[in-house]
Structure 1
Amino acid sequence: MTTRALAAFAAGASYDGLPPEVVAKAGALVLDCVGAAIGGAAVPEVVALTGLVRSRGGVPEATAVGARPGFAAPLADAAYAMGAAADVLEHQDGYRFGGFHPSHAIPAVLAVAEHVDADVPDLLTAVVVAYEVANRIARAAHPQATKAGWFPTAASFGAAAGCARLLGLSEDGIADAIGATAFFAPAILIESIFAAPGAKPAFAGQIARAGVEGALTATTGLTGWREVVEHPRGLVSVLGGDGDTAHGLGSEWTILDVHQKWFAGCRHTHGAAQATAELALEHDLKPSEVSTVDVEAYDVALLLVDRPVGADPSTVACTLSLPFAVGAALADRYVGGRQYATDRRTNPEVLRVAGLVGLRRADDLEALYPEYTATRVTLTTTDGRTLTRTVDTPAGDSRAPMDRDRLLAKFGAYADPVVGAENAARVAEALLGPSGSVRDLIALVTVFQEAQA
């Protein structure tokens, strides 16, 4: 379990040495993140955060992907802006064995890749490095960190490794980048996220920013703490974890276990959302026909997403609320970015059902966590029927993955209205190909936005 081993892996990774399925997964994850950023850019909380970045100006080194209209900013600022946009709708990926979002690293890696004029295969190699480093750190601290009240910032350290690689640093330099990130990574109280304040998306932006700053610091020749991961008072230990973070590097590909979200919202709401949507479709239920909603889940779900919403909830609050997810899924048979628009998140029938939800622990479901985020929903109808559905592997899980059509549909729902269907298709082709330059790819998702301004 050493920082040095993680750096050695990052320095030695090569595109030609990556299994095809790993490359394909990396492309799909970047596509997902770009789509989420495009969709999130119009959310008021993100408009406020990216507006601050835009107002500061600075050297235009990389594009703030997803910002409307598009603009360029210093590397760390560009990563921050995209990070906030990609997080706000909670439609990004996640790693169930780490309790975090490894895609928080992508805005950092993408900004640096654009800046150095990397090609898409170089980008994807750096993304794989970032995920493998981040996932191992987070896995070693999960679920102890979450239960102690911390959100793992492992993506900052993975981002630093990926960015340092793109910047041409040696193994020593990458170790310094990972170690220097300790001085930039935020300390995130998980309750501060799930309390759902308007500033919440800033935490994801800051995680991305920290990775860029750590890598840039190493380029100056300054050293980082090369025991940041494994020291007895280092990152993993302080978060309550243990274990060998370097186990299986280069042979076990944790990126393949990363889930993508078919439903938008915190992962711990997905089982309930899917079970409710399936029951609504199967029985042609209307919200007015449901009188009670009983949801059974595992301890972490109760800790994080048992969040009632009021009469005028914010987008951030709704994305972190299991009761809201149930109400939206019953009304619309799906929970995506559209369900967080003002007219849907304040819809009386959605909010009425949300108010009916009772969430409780089930011993059999708790025993399955974290291998499964299993959730059981029981709906009682006004005519006396009792309808139950259990979902243990929500759509998008690595064991129930989204196929290519669903991946493209999710991306297109966000990208097509903003950058045009033709540009969106070309972005998907470049990332899933993979081929072309990162700068050309970025231009495809920003030119139309600038024309719209």
Structure 2
Amino acid sequence: MSPAPPLSRRAAEFVAAISLDRLPDRTVHAAKRLILDTLGCALGAADAPPVRMLEAILPPPAPPGARCLVTGRRTTAEGAAGVNGALVRYLDFMDVYWSRDICHPSENIPAALACVEEAGGNGRTLIEAVVAGFEVQIRLCDAFSFQDRGFHHVSAAGFVVPLVAGKAWGQSAAAMAHGSVLGGMRHLTLGVISHGKLSMGKAIGYPLNGAEAITAARLAGAGFTGPLEAYEWLFRKTAGPDENPDSLALDFDRWRIEGVSLKSFPVQYALQAPVAAAIRLHPALRGRLEEVASIRARVLPDTLKRAADPAKFHPTDRETADHSLPSCIAMALLDGALTEHQFEAGRFRDPDVMRLTALVEPVADPDFIRRLPAGRPGAVEVLLRNGERLEAVEEVPLGDHSRPMDDDTLRAKFRALAEPVVGADRAARIIAFVEALETQPSLDPLLDLCTRPAQDRGP
């Protein structure tokens, strides 16, 4: 019996076989919802400082190139994927999936958009490339944990993005396999980017890995070869005892893209539930905030490790604040909302927020651990000086795959992010374009609509 092909080749053959014709309607609908949500997250970050810094150093386009969202600047597919990826990531408002590891599979959408645009592709091709990226990354997340090895989950970009690019460009499975390992061997990213005091590096983890991975796909398309057993090496050298190459499912029986969760608030996903609970307490605390004696935030233990370490009690920048359990709860209790505008204004540094932040006691809830070990629940208890106790619990936040946003709620989220940048008319036309994406002969109208009107651009 001949040995099985390398896992890189099997993953590439899986991607090559993805087509719109074999996708159920609900899967196509899920893909379009995620594309719309991702475009909203990108447009909402239009003026993010890290993005503008990235765009300032872009190379000139090698025709036909691809465009940056918001500014419409044309550059290479690599450059556009990097800038647009940073836009998507900056607000921390994009999707999330977790199992053995965690990931934000929508970070593949900027790469898909840039590569399909470069190739002059259509809406159908974009859907196929997006589904390919989601399916491979999610299945890798199910099989292997980068974070358990001390790496960040954005390490997956090196393996996944060349498959996205190859799908967009119509590469053979053989070429895509080499692209995947050429990218994968390069991008084991240190987990430090999401621990302690965070930095602008958070915004570029996946985008920069993905941009270079597009170049790996180009090399593979030109005949450049890579170590085809890179997946096996990764599992063999770094995986835990129950992680092995055979656990990477490459079936067509169930499309994992349908199990992705969305966010209602622009913060780390583990904070969605406690923030929702805090917002529900806001009306009862109106005019009584000076009476607050203590605040108890009940969450799962892994949330404490990520979002309640010492640096999170004194956030000085947006990157740390949107990963801070105490700061986000304080803002939600005070304002009855948590939006990107509060972060943009530095609300987390205001004296009233800092006072409440210092009163937050994060604890691991044994009942949550017992009943909801795989969820992201949260509860907030507020004790007033007169002994009165107020409490709100959110076991499943809105947007979770088990409690999904309906289409109207998703459109409202998109409009809130997009309209201040491109206007109500363009936002409505983007929604209509994406909802009919499989019929669109070109992506040019979408890129036009996602460009800020000329009169609203800076000098």
Q: Same fold, TM exceeding 0.5?
A: yes
Whether the 8 Å CA contact 1:105–1:207 is kept in 2: the answer is no
Alignment CA distance shift 1:205-1:191 (3 Å): closer
Q: Which amino acid aligns with 1:452?
A: R
Superposition pairs of residues 237-256 of structure 1, within 5 angstroms: 238=238, 240=240, 242-243=243-244, 244-247=246-249, 249-256=251-258
Q: Residues of 1 paired with 2:421 and 2:133: CA distance?
A: 29
> Following TM superposition, by how much is the alpha carbon of 1:305 offset from its aligned partner in structure 2, in angstroms?
0.9
SS at match of 1:93: coil
Can you list the C-alpha shifts for 1:366-413, whole angstroms capped at 9, x where unaligned? 345662112222111244221222322211101111111211111111
Alignment CA distance shift 1:16-1:288 (3 Å): farther
1:150 is matched with 151
Q: Does 1:176 pair with 2:181?
A: no
Q: Residues of 1 paired with 2:395 and 2:215: CA distance?
A: 39
Superposition pairs of residues 214-229 of structure 1, within 5 angstroms: 214-229=216-231
Q: Residues of 2 paired with 1:440 and 1:92: CA distance?
A: 23
Superposition pairs of residues 262-273 of structure 1, within 5 angstroms: 262-273=264-275
Can you list the C-alpha shifts for 1:291-317, whole angstroms capped at 9, x where unaligned? 211112222211111145567721111
2:391 is matched with 388
Can you list the C-alpha shifts for 1:90-137, whole angstroms capped at 9, x where unaligned? 101110213121112111111101111221121011101110001111
Superposition pairs of residues 33-182 of structure 1, within 5 angstroms: 33-53=38-58, 56-59=59-62, 61-66=65-70, 69-97=71-99, 98-142=101-145, 145-152=146-153, 153-182=155-184
Alignment CA distance shift 1:283-1:447 (3 Å): closer
1:439 is matched with 444
SS at match of 1:150: coil
Whether the 8 Å CA contact 2:181–2:226 is kept in 1: the answer is yes
Identity across matched positions, percent:
26
| Ranges in structure 1 where 5+ consecutive residues have no aligned partner | none
Whether the 8 Å CA contact 2:175–2:220 is kept in 1: the answer is yes
2:339 is matched with 336
Alignment CA distance shift 1:351-1:120 (3 Å): farther
Q: Which amino acid aligns with 1:335?
A: L
Q: Which amino acid aligns with 2:151?
A: W
| Ranges in structure 2 where 5+ consecutive residues have no aligned partner | 1-5
SS at match of 1:200: helix
Alignment CA distance shift 1:327-1:24 (3 Å): same
Q: Which amino acid aligns with 2:95?
A: D
2:35 is matched with 30
Q: Residues of 2 paired with 1:169 and 1:286: CA distance?
A: 63
Whether the 8 Å CA contact 2:299–2:377 is kept in 1: the answer is yes
> Following TM superposition, by how much is the alpha carbon of 1:222 offset from its aligned partner in structure 2, in angstroms?
1.0
How many residues align? The count is: 445
Can you list the C-alpha shifts for 1:314-360, whole angstroms capped at 9, x where unaligned? 11111111111101211222222112112523333222222211112
Q: Residues of 2 paired with 1:193 and 1:111: CA distance?
A: 30
SS at match of 2:200: coil
Can you list the C-alpha shifts for 1:200-231, whole angstroms capped at 9, x where unaligned? 312132132143123222111112332222x1
> Following TM superposition, by how much is the alpha carbon of 1:13 offset from its aligned partner in structure 2, in angstroms?
0.9
Whether the 8 Å CA contact 1:271–1:393 is kept in 2: the answer is yes
Q: Residues of 1 paired with 2:271 and 2:299: CA distance?
A: 10
Q: Does 1:363 pair with 2:354?
A: no
Q: Residues of 2 paired with 1:328 and 1:239: CA distance?
A: 40
Q: Residues of 2 paired with 1:102 and 1:121: CA distance?
A: 19
Q: Residues of 1 paired with 2:237 and 2:140: CA distance?
A: 10
> Following TM superposition, by how much is the alpha carbon of 1:26 offset from its aligned partner in structure 2, in angstroms?
0.9
Which one of the candidate residues 354, 373, 377 is aligned to 2:376?
373
Q: Which amino acid aligns with 1:290?
A: V
Q: Residues of 1 paired with 2:158 and 2:127: CA distance?
A: 17
Whether the 8 Å CA contact 1:130–1:159 is kept in 2: the answer is yes
Alignment CA distance shift 1:343-1:195 (3 Å): closer
1:325 is matched with 328
Alignment CA distance shift 1:303-1:235 (3 Å): same
> Following TM superposition, by how much is the alpha carbon of 1:248 offset from its aligned partner in structure 2, in angstroms?
5.5
Whether the 8 Å CA contact 1:263–1:335 is kept in 2: the answer is yes
1:410 is matched with 413
Q: Which amino acid aligns with 1:262?
A: S
SS at match of 2:374: coil
> Following TM superposition, by how much is the alpha carbon of 1:189 offset from its aligned partner in structure 2, in angstroms?
1.7
